[in-house]
Amino acid sequence: MSAEGRAPLVEARGVVKTYGGGLFRRQGVTRALDDVDLDIGVGEVVALIGESGSGKTTLGKVLLRLTSVDSGRVTFEGQDVFAAGAAALRQMRRRFQMVFQNQAANLHPKMTVREMMDESIRLHRPELDDAGRTALTSTLLERVGLSARADQRPASLSGGEKRRVGLARILATKPRLIVADEPTSGLDAAIKQQTITLLKHLKDADLAYLLISHDLGLVRKISERVVVMLKGRIIEDVPVERLGVSGTHHPYTLRLMQAAELLEDHAPSTEGEVTRAGAAAERVEVTSAGCVYAGDCALARRLGILSKCASERPQFVDVGERHRVACFGLTEPGRESNV
Amino acid sequence: MTAKWSDLGLRLSGAVVVAVMVVGLVALVIPYDPADAVSYDSLLNPPSAAHWLGTDGQGRDVLMRLVKGTEAFFLPGLMGGLIAVVLGGLAGAYTGYASGPLRSALVGLLQLVDTLPRLVFIILLCTIRNPSIPLIAVVAGLLFVPTVATVVRRKVEALASEDYILAHIAHGFTPARILLHHILWLQCWPLLVRQAAFVFGYVLFVETGLSYLGDYGVQEPDPSWGNMVAQVKDLAGAGAWPWLAPAVAIVVTIASFLAFGNLVARKGEEALR
Ligand SMILES: Nc1ncnc2c1ncn2[C@@H]1O[C@H](COP(=O)(O)OP(=O)(O)O)[C@@H](O)[C@H]1O
Ligand code: SF4
Ligand SMILES: [Mg+2]
């Protein structure tokens, strides 16, 4: 995958991350990231979607070196993120930031909004004096619409306000990449809308977002490219204009899109009924080398390629401009009549 | 307890704590020679303008010995409290954040120390080595390290589990700053105050207890509130001031330190909520 037409900002190659095992391998190993490649261009807004547990948060953390990797390489502005020494990493941390899914994580429970802003500005803008910090605090709080809440502690802020404090602190660093993990989850519709508007408003030509979200509405509104993950792998990488039942190709993406459309139409049917039809008909032993969707894939069964799918890893196929899909079914004859 | 009562308690206990601190400091600089102080002309005098709390069985000024007696526990108590809080805080922050064999070893060691019955251990130590009071205070401080470490560790783990620490590392803070400033300093201070005050009271209790018993602790003619109270054994009702004054001082001081620690901590925790 590459961010064509843009200078690269982040390049992840062959990233593998496993959890668990421990000293005696008691819990079994989770391959949270299974050989993932991802590029993000300067100023690009990339959405990362996929069911819960598919590795989205882990990928976000890996890009920012917030967790270790088993193997693979990540570069940010051309610099190897995992090889960076303490000083280089400190410089990098100013340029890539993360809004955590758990909004409490971003805020000190005992500090006021102003104190937290002051602390961030001291850390990232040491050149500013007291007056400069005060002025910047006001500017940033105004940008996120929190001027009136400067003297509150987190406990008296709403969920949306807490996230905005997190964003205001991040803006003190002048980042080039913000990873936002489920920035609208747990917010009611009106606050969600405000948050989306704010994210759009804060965006400038140099700032890239990696937006992790289940919320296809949010994804459609602000992203340019959508990356779909399943069980630790990226399975489709599609321009946002094509996001939908008619534009996407991977059977799992289609399942997500169908479910979303059904929800939007308020149809009584559920995700499982639509997409798992026929999946149980044929059982195979799916190896970890195979396609992560093989166990559930109706397409593979219809095309009679299940044994291949279950044992070989599908590589990416270009199916259009800036659109790649990892699925054997796409190159098989008879594909159009399916799914 | 209502707010009014706890405010009153805070003021009263706070006044005693401040008074003990001041007297403890003053005692460090007043010269006092217990041999010189003996005066056979004024044995067991009642309180007077010359001797506010009277004199003891050797004609020594009781107030002077009371003041000088703070020396036996003042610095040791502060030291014990400081050791418990500083080492306990650091150990708690480290074991709450780190992983790996060193952390496991430290957790095991803390658990081990925590199982020791403190008083029995100290008395055992006395019968083996007859240590000085400062050494006993160091040991007492160390014996309280696990208590502090456990509470701090839980706090750190709770914040780590909601990604607080990771989010702040992501923002650019160093783990040291997050653990020491954000968590220990800003969020654990009520606990640390409570524990420091408790250990101070504990050291005072142990010191005066040992000195009272006589074989260990501060020996006559050097003054300790404990060996002053012990005079009750020799005076046989001849006069109450020489032992009553230190006895009251011990009870009031220990009670005040415990109450002060608790009330300050409770107020702090309320304010942090
Ligand atoms: N700290 C962790 N320890 C063990 N397993 C983890 C940890 N974090 C994530 N995982 C596992 O890794 C997989 C991917 O998790 P995550 O990246 O959080 O997915 P997502 O954000 O898409 O929901 C899941 O199976 C999850 O259970
Ligand atoms: S590779 Fe095979 S199993 Fe995987 S999605 Fe495509 S057809 Fe289905
Ligand atoms: Mg997640």
SS (H, E, C) B139-192: HHHHHHHHHHHHHHHHHHHHHHHCCHHHHHHHHCCCHHHHHHHHHHHHHCHHHH
Is B272 in contact with A104 (Cβ distance < 8 A)? no
| Chain-chain contact of B182 with A98 (C-beta, under 8 angstroms) | no
A110/B272 touch (CB, cutoff 8 Å), yes or no: yes
Range with the lowest mean pLDDT among A65-74, A212-221, A224-233, B203-212? A212-221
Closest Cα in chain B, distance from residue A98 (Å): 7
Terminal Cα-to-Cα distance of chain B (whole angstroms): 19
- What residue in A sits closest to B183 (Cα-Cα)? A108
Q: pLDDT tens digits, residue range B208-265?
A: 999 998 888 899 889 999 999 998 887 766 778 889 999 999 999 999 999 999 999 9
Residue A133: its H or E element: helix A130-143
Atom of ligand 1 nearest to the CA of A181: 21
A112: phi then psi, degrees, rounded to nearest 5: -80, 165
Q: From the CB of A56, is ligand 1 less than 6 Å away?
A: yes
Q: Could you tell me if B93 and B152 are in contact, meaning their C-beta atoms sit under 8 angstroms apart?
A: yes
Tell which atom from ligand 1 comes closest to the C-alpha of A51: 22
By most ligand atoms within 8 Å of CB, the mutation choice from A17, A19, A25 for ligand 1 is: A19
Nearest CA owner, ligand 1 atom 18: A57
Nearest protein CA to atom 3 of ligand 2, as residue: A294
Q: Tell me, in angstroms, the distance from the centre of ligand 3 to residue A49's CA.
A: 10
Chain B residues with CB-CB distance to A93 below 8 A = 170-172
| Partner residue facing B163 (CB), from A90, A105, A120 | A105
pLDDT band at A92 (very low <50, low <70, confident <90, very high): very high
Q: What's the pLDDT at A272?
A: 43
Subunit contact B163:A102, Cβ cutoff 8 A:
yes
pLDDT of res. A276: 47
Calculate how far, in angstroms, residue A253's C-alpha sits from the geometric centre of ligand 3.
Answer: 18
* Alpha carbon of A67 to ligand 3 centroid (Å): 14
What pLDDT does residue A274 have?
A: 41
Is it true that domain A1-95+177-185+204-243 has CATH number 3.30.300.30? Answer: no
Mean pLDDT score, A188-207 = 87
Q: Indicate the domain borders of chain B.
A: 71-219
Q: Name the pLDDT band for A273 (thresholds 50, 70, 90).
A: very low
The pLDDT score that the predictor gives to residue B68 is 95
Q: What is the ipTM of this complex?
A: 0.86
Binary contact (A124, B172; C-beta < 8 A)? yes
Chain A residue closest to B187 (CA)?
A: A110
Q: Which residues contact A140 (CB under 8 A, 6 or more apart)?
A: A117, A168, A171, A172
Q: Ligand 2 centre and the CA of A252: distance in Å?
A: 9
Q: What is the pLDDT of residues A107-159, one digit of tens each?
A: 998 899 999 999 999 999 999 999 999 999 999 999 999 999 999 999 999 88
Predicted model pTM: 0.85
Cα gap A82→A77, rounded to integer Å: 13
Q: Which of B104, B162, B171, B191 to mutate to test the interface with A (most CBs of A within 10 A)?
A: B171
Residue A282 is predicted with a pLDDT of: 58
- Contact list, B273 vs chain A (CB under 8 Å): 155
Which helix (H) or strand (E) segment is A167 a member of? helix A159-171
A66/B173 Cβ within 8 A: no
Domain residue extents for chain A: 1-95+177-185+204-243, 250-331
